Amino acid sequence: MFDFIDRSIMQKDHQSEPIWTNSTFRSTVYQIAAISIVALTAYYLFTNTTANLAKQSIATGFGFLSRESSFEIGESMISFSSSDTYLKALAVGALNTVKVSFIGIILTVALGIIVGIARLSTNWLVSRIAAVYIEVLQDIPVLLQLFFWYTIFNNVMPSPRQAMIPFNGMVLCNRGAYFAIPADHPAFTWMGYAIVIACILIFFIRKWAKKRQERTGQIFPIFTVSSLLIIVLPLVAWFVMGAPTEMNMPVLKGFNFEGGYNVSPEFGSLLLGLVLYTSAFVAEIVRAGIQSISKGQREAAESLGLRPIFVMNLVILPQALRVIIPPLTSQLLNLTKNSSLAVAIGYPDFVSISNTTISQTGQAIEGVALIMIMYLTISLLTSFFMNWYNDKMALVER
Amino acid sequence: MKYFKILTVLLSVVLILVSGIVSAGTLENVKKKGFVQVGVNQGLFGFASADEKGEWKGLDVDTARAISCAVFGTPDKLKFIPLSAQTRFTALQSGEIDVLCRNATRTLARESQLGLNFVTVNYYDGQGFMVPKSLGLKSAKELSGATVCVLQGTTTEQNAADYFKKNGMAWKPVVVESTPAIQQAFFSGRCDCMTSDASQLAGLRTAAPKPGDYMLLPEIISKEPLAPAVRHGDDQWYDVVNFSVLAMIQAEEYGITSKNVDDMLKSEDPEIKRFLGVTPGNGEALGLDEKFAYNIVKHVGNYGEVFDRNVGPATPLAIERGLNALWTNGGLMYAPPFK
């Protein structure tokens, strides 16, 4: 913050000059003044608001968070009923936002990379299809896309009583897609542990393989071994625990299907809309990143006799990532923030729950503050992670 | 759209932050600036909606016109500010509007915690259920397990939750913010049932591809007294708004209509003479022109006329008077004596 640049130049006159002409002193004073003005303004706004609200006898504070919410939420990752508190309702909304953002980010990055690379393909058709995809989806406002997918879902899908059943265990209707999932059994907990163990093993094997390759030049078939581990270990756990095969099937009961795993039309269209829209931008970023690597790099790699997949994975992408990551971060943040459009199509995200809370308690200032804090937290965490990844990927100068 | 809404909320918040207390002397302020700023619904047929010429129409709009007549003697000194369900109370609190005529339900929490006062009810409503006839339902008690479309930002969500809980029924809400989106979702079959105030359901049904395919279930699960609201602490303005509504109800009881009001000026009945300002007193007490009630009836009509014109049996909404009939006809509309 402080300006130390001129110090060495100022050094020689330092004894003779009066303190108010000293640049370090001046800049310190200016900064203290600026901070004081900001702090005083904030203090004035805060006290004035509190006083005004008190005079108009409007309730303030966050006391409402512990009161009974008395509304229901359509979909929730944790159990929730109308007798739970506003705090829990908001937590449900926050989890729903995190769920759609998290799944959305993973799918967006995957799809974006595929389309971005396809855009640069030497195959004319593949590169044209990718170009059309990018141009069309980039240019339509995301809210319109959400409405579009939601309308499609609602109008194309049949009612539950005439549901489409493509195969046993999957049901499609205008209440969403239902999938049969394995019925509760302790074996599945152990399979979860097995996956974690597999991941840890893979981590160490990769480290070892890299070291060995650096030492001896031998390439270890890391991908095959990793895939085998992550499939075989849980399978072993499943067999050991008695190989349960009972399924929890969706069954039509009364108005709706019950059982199985339900992907609601709201979640489905929100995810689809966000992923398709954002991945178009990500694809362009990926393309820009790859094109920023000079042609010589590719030619050099090819002349070493590397296969195209290795040229991409070992030479081009590691360098391109440095260009890709910063703009990618901002697109992923956009996806998270755009997920607040959910309320337009009825997905109970954080903004939707906050809106209900605001209209039931009337405490708009607190509600809006909570929304801001929530999105700020998610965005800061995402950008913290991406900055860490960026530092890790940055070119190490030797 | 979403950002716009949040922006409006934020702006209102900022208004509260920077504005001082604006509640004192609303009547003076209104007279000085020459018009009343009214918060109305963004578009609810029968209550407040702009027609193809951009002219506002509806029961709430006519209530606002009555206030304009009371203060200025003409029904057009109004500035309509369309508000969403979430921003309406903030707009009133911050002084952005002088009176809120936006089918708002009077409740304890709103009156005590939001810093506002509701005047006389201008429409008694109640929450109901609309279902496709093809489901063959006879009662809301058969709705166990149903998916229910709910419009956000009202007492509706809470009422529905209470009703299903009380009757031990499982349900799944689909809460959508905008009316067009919820219409689209419901009429395409996303939900088994839609719940809202009965008057709103009647309005929404007119937008169905085939209105005849849908019906209202007999249960009314909540009390929704819809009333205009003003800020806490300005009793003079409260009285003006309150008696503007009451004047329409009283006029209907006296049998005074917009057509016969001029003849009624010659009436020998001392009550009617006081009411229409032939015998002075009422106007001065309220700080208004002595002819304020005359002006309201002349330009807007009595409550019965307003009801019939906007939501009555002859309109597409086709709502019967029911609770909104005069007390003399078994309804709840009752005005205290104008003396």
Domain ranges of chain B: 2-124+226-329, 127-222
d(CA A298, CA B20): 67
Positive or negative torsion for Cα A381, A387, A393, A396: negative
Q: Which residue has the tokens 């909606």?
A: B49
Distance in angstroms (rounded) separating the CA atoms of residues B322 and B333: 10
Is B146 part of the contact surface with chain A (CB cutoff 8 Å)?
yes
Distance from A96 to chain B by nearest Cα, in Å?
Answer: 14
Q: Which of B206, B192, B339, B220 is nearest to B269 (CA)?
A: B339
Query: Is A265–B190 a contact, with Cβ atoms under 8 angstroms apart?
Result: yes
More confident residue, B288 or A257: B288
Q: How many CB atoms lie within 10 A of CB A56?
A: 21
**Min Cα separation A390/chain B (Å):** 30
The pLDDT value given to residue B12: 61
- For the structural domain made of B2-124+226-329, what CATH number should be given? 3.40.190.10
What chain B residue is nearest to A76 in terms of C-alpha separation? B172
The reply to whether domains B2-124+226-329 and B127-222 share a CATH topology is: yes
Range name among A124-133, A247-256, B69-78, B207-216 with the lowest pLDDT average: A247-256
In our burial notation (b when 16+ CB lie closer than 10 A, e otherwise), range B139-167 reads ebebbeebbbbbbbbbbbbbbbbbbbeee
CB B64 within 8 A of CB B78: yes
Residue given tokens 């996956």 in the structure block? A195
- CA–CA gap between residue B190 and residue A154 (Å, rounded): 6
Model confidence at A335, in pLDDT bands (50, 70, 90)? very high
User: Would you call B149 helix, strand, or coil by DSSP?
Assistant: strand
Instruction: Give the pLDDT of chain B (339 residues) as one tens digit per residue.
Output: 555 566 666 666 555 555 544 445 899 999 999 999 999 998 888 899 888 898 999 999 999 999 999 999 999 999 999 998 778 888 998 889 999 999 899 988 888 888 899 999 999 999 999 999 988 888 999 998 899 999 876 678 889 999 999 999 989 999 988 777 888 889 988 899 999 888 888 888 888 888 889 988 988 999 999 999 999 889 999 999 999 999 999 999 999 999 999 999 999 999 999 999 999 999 999 999 999 999 999 999 999 999 999 999 899 888 889 899 999 999 999 999 998
How far is the CA of B53 from the CAs of B50, B56, B57, B322, in angstroms?
A: 8, 9, 11, 32
Burial A106-134 (b: 16+ CB within 10 A, else e): ebbbebbbebbbbbeeeeeeeeeebeebb
Tell me if the domain spanning B127-222 has CATH number 3.40.140.10: no
* A72/B21 CB distance under 8 A: no
- List chain A domain ranges: 7-48, 86-183+246-393
Contact B181 A352 (CB under 8 A): no
Encoded tokens for A167:
């195969």
Report the residue of B113, B129, B137, B171 to disrupt the A interface, i.e. the one with the largest count of A CBs within 10 Å.
B113
- pLDDT category at A1 given cuts 50, 70, 90 is very low
CB contact B267 to A (< 8 Å): no
Give the long-range contacts of residues A85-90, CB within 8 A, separation 24 or more.
A86/A357, A86/A361, A89/A353, A89/A356, A89/A357, A90/A65, A90/A350, A90/A353, A90/A354, A90/A357, A90/A370
DSSP state of A21: G
Q: What is the pLDDT of residue A153?
A: 86
* DSSP structure string for A263-299: E-HHHHHHHHHHHHHHHHHHHHHHHHHHHTS-HHHHH
Residue B132 bridge partners (DSSP): B214
Q: What is the Cα–Cα distance from A233 to A230, expressed in whole angstroms? A: 6
- Cα separation of A224 and B27, whole Å? 81
**B12–A359 C-beta distance less than 8 A:** no
Q: For the ranges A210-214, A261-265, A378-382, B18-22, which has the lowest average pLDDT?
A: B18-22
Q: Is B215 on the interface with A (CB under 8 A)?
A: no
Residue A32 half-sphere exposure toward CB, CA atoms < 13 A: 6
Nearby residues of B23 by Cβ (< 8 Å), 6 or more positions away: A56, B95, B231, B232, B233, B234
Asked whether the beta carbons of residue A361 and residue B173 sit closer than 8 angstroms, the reply is: no
Between residues A196 and A56, the one the model is more confident about: A196
Phi/psi of residue A397, nearest 5 degrees? -80, 135
* Unique residue bearing structure tokens 């918060």: B39
Q: Which residues make Cβ contacts (< 8 Å) with residue B111, sequence separation at least 6?
A: B117, B118
Q: Which secondary-structure segment (H or E) carries A243?
A: none
Residue ranges of alpha helices (H) inside A20-85 are 23-55
User: In this structure, are residues B8 and B15 in contact, taking their beta carbons and an 8 Å threshold?
Assistant: no
Residue in chain B nearest A361 by alpha carbon = B109
B176:A344 CB<8 A: yes
Partners of residue B231 in chain A, C-beta under 8 Å:
56
Q: Is the pLDDT of residue A114 over 70?
A: yes
Q: Using one digit for the tens of pLDDT, what is the confidence trace for A66-106?
A: 888 888 898 888 889 888 999 999 999 999 999 999 999 99
CA distance A276 to A108: 7
Residues near A280 by Cβ (< 8 Å), separated by ≥ 6? Answer: A112, A115, A133, A134, A137, A138
The pTM score is: 0.76
A86-183+246-393 homologous superfamily: MetI-like (1.10.3720.10)
Please tell me which of A173-182, A250-259, B161-170 the model is most confident about, judged by mean pLDDT: B161-170
Residue B153 to residue A70, Cβ atoms within 8 A? no
Percent of chain A with pLDDT over 90: 38
Helix, strand or coil, per DSSP, at residue B114: strand
List the one residue out of A265, A274, A269 whose CA is nearest residue A74.
A265
DSSP state of A85: B
pLDDT given for residue A397 in this prediction = 61
> Is the CB of residue B7 less than 8 Å away from at least one CB of chain A?
no
Contacts of A150 by beta carbon, 8 Å cutoff, 6+ apart: A265, A266, A269, A345, A346, B181, B185
- Extract the tokens encoding A391: 């530092």
Q: Do B162 and A343 touch (CB under 8 A)?
A: no
Please answer yes or no on whether A359 and B115 come within 8 Å at the CB atom: no
- The CA distances from residue B308 to A242, A316, B48, B50, B324, in Å, are 73, 75, 15, 18, 11
Interface of B with A in 93-132 (CB under 8 A): 93, 109-110, 112-115
Which of A45, A67, A71, A75 is the mutation pick for testing B, counting most B CBs within 10 A? A71
Kindly tell me the sign of the dihedral angle through the C-alpha atoms of B141, B144, B149, B151: positive
Instruction: Read off the pLDDT of each residue in A361-379 and give the average, rounded to a whole number.
Output: 89
